[in-house]
Amino acid sequence: MRLAEYAQSIELEREQIYWLATERDWVLPLPVDYPDGSNSVASAETVSVTLSREQTQILQEEIAATYRVQLEDVLLATLGQAFSKWTAKESLLIDLEGNGRDVIFDDIDLSRTVGWFTNIYPVMLEIDEAKQSGVLFLYLGNYEQTVPESSLFTLSPKSNGLSRSLRGQRSHLIEINALIVDNQLKVDFIYSQNVHRRETVEI
């Protein structure tokens, strides 16, 4: 109820000018290998890339620190350049996913709620030499730091299984999840084999 009222507030109405800007209208969809393929959950495949500890350290301590940016910003800039080479476009509309508990209302206490809240918002990446976005990006940070050393719980190496029905449709053509585990950056590219060839994603 409170969120519905907040969504219709004058404060958010003023933001519509930004979110509905005309430059998003001419963004072309991502190229696909199989135009008639169904982007189903059942057809999802993953291409994983894992950097070494040395490479991850360089990203965190040298590049990010030197330019005074977050690692997430470095990854987004890299993704923008990679997609620009693939699509031959100078801009990329990407949906950025974030997890957290943003405080919207001072009089509502969320400290006893379980789980995390997810927000997704569009970001236009402009590449100097890119409708709904076809790309979803989520950076989870250093996953091991989310669990205190004194905790009774530890991270499991096993998969938590499917979170969506195999009969469902995926919301994006390519989902990118990045996180640091054991001091190594791991990036997963999730795509539909009904829409893209594995070789396309690996490039």
- What CATH number does residue 117 fall under? 3.30.559.30
Within a domain: residue 21? no
Within a domain: residue 61? yes
Beta strands in 11-60, from DSSP E residues, in sequence order:
44-50
pTM: 0.73
Give the residue, 4 or 152, on which the prediction is more confident: 4
* 201 contact partners, CB below 8 Å, separation of at least 6: 47, 174, 189, 191
Within a domain: residue 24? no
Tokens linked to 196: 């893209």
Query: What average pLDDT does this structure show over 46-66?
Result: 88
Tens of pLDDT, residues 162-183: 777 888 899 999 999 999 988 8
What three-state secondary structure class fits 16? helix
Within a domain: residue 74? yes
Highest mean pLDDT among 13-17, 55-59, 198-202: 198-202
Within a domain: residue 159? yes
**Distances from the Cα of 200 to the Cα of 64, 105, 144, angstroms:** 29, 45, 32
Tokens linked to 152: 């009774």
Tens of pLDDT, residues 78-87: 888 889 889 8
State residue 130's pLDDT score.
Answer: 46
What total of structural domains would you count in the chain? 1
CA–CA distance, 168 with 163 (Å, rounded to integer): 11
Within a domain: residue 112? yes
**Averaged pLDDT score across all residues of the chain:** 83
Residue 63 has pLDDT above 70, yes or no: yes
- Other Cβ atoms less than 10 A from the Cβ of 137: the count is 24
Q: Which domain holds residue 78?
A: 29-202
Tens of pLDDT, residues 114-166: 777 788 888 888 876 445 778 989 888 886 666 666 666 666 667 777 777 88
State residue 55's pLDDT score.
Answer: 92
State residue 155's pLDDT score.
Answer: 65
